[in-house]
A and B are shown apart, each in its own frame.
Chain A
């Protein structure tokens, strides 16, 4: 069974730039969620994708956007980067909504630093 994989693992950007983070879900999982985890904080929900559609969104501005592809992989895009966007970005896959109890299976994360 293949786990959740994310890329890149680390990256450095400057304010105003754009970034794309990628995630491949665990085999058998067609639902992908993205979380932002700032240092010393718990993960904050950004959004979730199911069947290539956004299926829930947290309190993040529109410059945070995403995609899900037919193979269930996903991208998180952040435009106009701000210093406060520096965080660990976590992708998690899970069972589809009808079978889901809330268990998440996380990738290793992408550490973004904005200078």
Chain B
């Protein structure tokens, strides 16, 4: 069973700080990686995708991928209370385009 692992948290950061969310995956064949944000009681919403080693920035969000270490992370700069949510990491297994999800990391941004 190919796995995607995340620390369930909660990760608590003060408003304005950088939140760092981490994810590891077991399938070296995975080629694409996704971060979804899920507010309590709502469905997941795609916020970032990354396909190549290195960093990808989109506004306050930066996704980082290291395929050699099988590690993907999400940085949220200038964290806001509205960023408080569960962040899900997802990766399709090699040869598939059907994502496997981690259990999610709960982020709490306090004023």
A residues neighboring B (CB under 8 Å): 33, 35, 40-45, 48, 56, 59, 88, 90, 94, 97, 100-109
Contacts and interface: CB of A to CB of B under 8 A. Distances in A.
B103 interface: yes
Contacts of B68: none
Contacts of B102: 42
B34 A103 contact: yes
A66 to B, nearest CB: 14
Interface of B: 1, 4, 6, 8, 32, 34, 42-46, 49, 51, 88, 90-92, 96-104
B33 to A, nearest CB: 8
Given A42-B88, A90-B43, A108-B42, A102 B104 contact: no
A90 B46 CA distance: 14
Nearest to B104: A42
B8 A40 contact: yes
B32 A101 contact: yes
A41 to B, nearest CB: 5
Give the one of B44, B49, B97 with max A CB within 10 A.
Answer: B97
B88 A102 contact: no
A59 B42 CA distance: 24
B8 to A, nearest CB: 7
List the 6 closest A-B pairs by CB distance, nearest first.
A42-B101, A102-B92, A106-B43, A100-B97, A42-B103, A43-B101
B51 A101 contact: yes
B13 to A, nearest CB: 21
Contacts of A94: 97
B98 A103 contact: no
A29 B8 CA distance: 32
Contacts of A88: 43
B46 A105 contact: yes
Contact of A43 (B44, B46, B51, B97): B44
